[in-house]
Amino acid sequence: MTANATTDFPDSSDIGYLLHKHPDRVQSWNLPMGTTTVLYPEVSVERTTVAVLLNDGAASGLAVALSRLFKQTLAGVCTGRPELVSAAIDLMISMPAAPSRGATDLASRMFGPLGWKVDATPIPLDPTQPHWGNSEYVDLVLTGTFTLSAALRHLYVLLPVLDDGKHYWVGEDEADKLVRAAWDWLGDHPESSLIASRYLAHRRELVASALDRLVPDAPQGDAAPRDPTLAEQRVRAVLAALTGAGAKSVIDLGCGEGRLLREILADNSFDRVLGADVSDRALAKAQRRLRLDDMSDRQRARIELVQSSATYRDARLHGFDAMVLMEVIEHVDLDRLPALVRSVFLQARPRTVLVTTPNSEYNALYPGLEPGTFRHVDHRFEFTRAQFEHWGSSVAREHGYDVRIEGIGPVDDMHGTPTQMAVFTREEQTR
């Protein structure tokens, strides 16, 4: 299988910095899916072409190869020329034999809504026998203007969708990969259900898990009974801690698209709920997921959504019993973490603060996660258990809280649990 990418940059040869592959070299790797070669057939200031050749004919194999060959590009890392990471590039990507199983317009339905111009020419089964009709392959050409990281993430997710036949075991870690790769676009894609279903080998419980994290109120059908996902276990642990603290008013700081808010609102013991996030797009999705417009006046009075940052003082965050930061701190640059601590523990100062974050030691158990990389492309850091305990103890000591650390998810004797939670509490001062 061959894929070519041609770019038009102020100096198009700069794409070598982004791909971390030198234009003057032909490089080959023996990957699990076969020998893979990267070369540059054409290099100039005006136009540069990069070719990826793979022995495996499966699109899922090419997608995995792209993730292995260009993992830093996918993550948006370019230490040599960091200013290039956010630059939109005029791209043309061609695959002479791309799968299109099930529909001739499948590539257009997948890539078109993302902003690509799609030219998919059906390939005959046999050019000498036109009455046999077309094969399930197309000559695919995509043109568009994207950051290289975004373009590669589109290919990484959608190539296996076109193929509809992953050639390796698909488990819960695959749903996590889908969320990590498509977090910023799949929720709004008109074919989100089809994409998730094909990407996850039609495993209904995994599709339900991924869509629930990406799409507000995604229809899940009659799903078979299954073990709770890590995301579900995390929500349950947070709700149990809030109930144990006797909280009646709660802030979900960094609420995202409202998954936790929905569960909090379902419990009438919480009288007042505030969802805060820096992203107005996420808040709009939370409003749809919670169906605020359809709520009764009594229910609507319990919930408010506001745009706010975890690192800045905001008077609207004062006066609540509890605050939750569920999978938030790892998205903050380490040098901004003290600002978050000040705004939460010094200024807002609720009686209870719950903080959940990944345990980086557990990453070794994820087979699809390369050593030294984070679980999400937007993570700025991930604490080990010792680092998190030290951070939590320091924050508690400095701001007059007690703290206990709990694990969430399956327990491994060596690596602990995938998620760790700090429960900060302080006694109310009496006059």
CA distances from 302 to 107, 138, 269, 297, 307 (A): 44, 53, 11, 9, 17
pLDDT of residue 43: 87
Please report which residue ranges of 266-370 form alpha helices under DSSP H: 280-290, 297-300, 337-341
Is 90 exceeded by the pLDDT of residue 168? no
Say how many residues make up the chain: 431
Q: Are 100 and 162 in contact (CB under 8 A)?
A: yes
What is the layout of strands, in order, in the sheet containing 89-99? 27-31, 34-42, 48-54, 2-8, 89-99, 134-146, 117-124
Is 50 exceeded by the pLDDT of residue 2? no
Burial 138-161 (b: 16+ CB within 10 A, else e): bebbbebebbbbbbbbbbbbbbbb
Is 70 exceeded by the pLDDT of residue 381? yes
Nearest to 384 by CA among 407, 362, 356: 362
Q: What are phi and psi of 350, to 5 degrees?
A: -70, 165
| Reported pTM | 0.55
Q: What are phi and psi of 248, to 5 degrees?
A: -110, -25
Say whether 421 sits in a helix, a strand or coil.
strand
Task: Let me know the angle formed at the C-alpha of 70 by 178 and 202, rounded to the nearest 5 degrees.
Answer: 25
Q: pLDDT tens digits for 209-241?
A: 788 777 544 444 444 444 567 888 899 999 999
Helices vs strands, H then E, count in the chain = 14, 14
Is 80 exceeded by the pLDDT of residue 411? yes
Is 80 exceeded by the pLDDT of residue 377? no
Q: pLDDT tens digits for 238-277?
A: 999 999 999 999 999 999 888 899 999 989 899 999 999 9
Nearest to 334 by CA among 287, 296, 381: 381
How far does Cα 358 stand from its chain's mean position?
14
Is 90 exceeded by the pLDDT of residue 419? yes
How far does Cα 82 stand from its chain's mean position?
21
Over residues 339-357, the mean pLDDT reads: 97
What the block records as the tokens of 347 is 């200024």
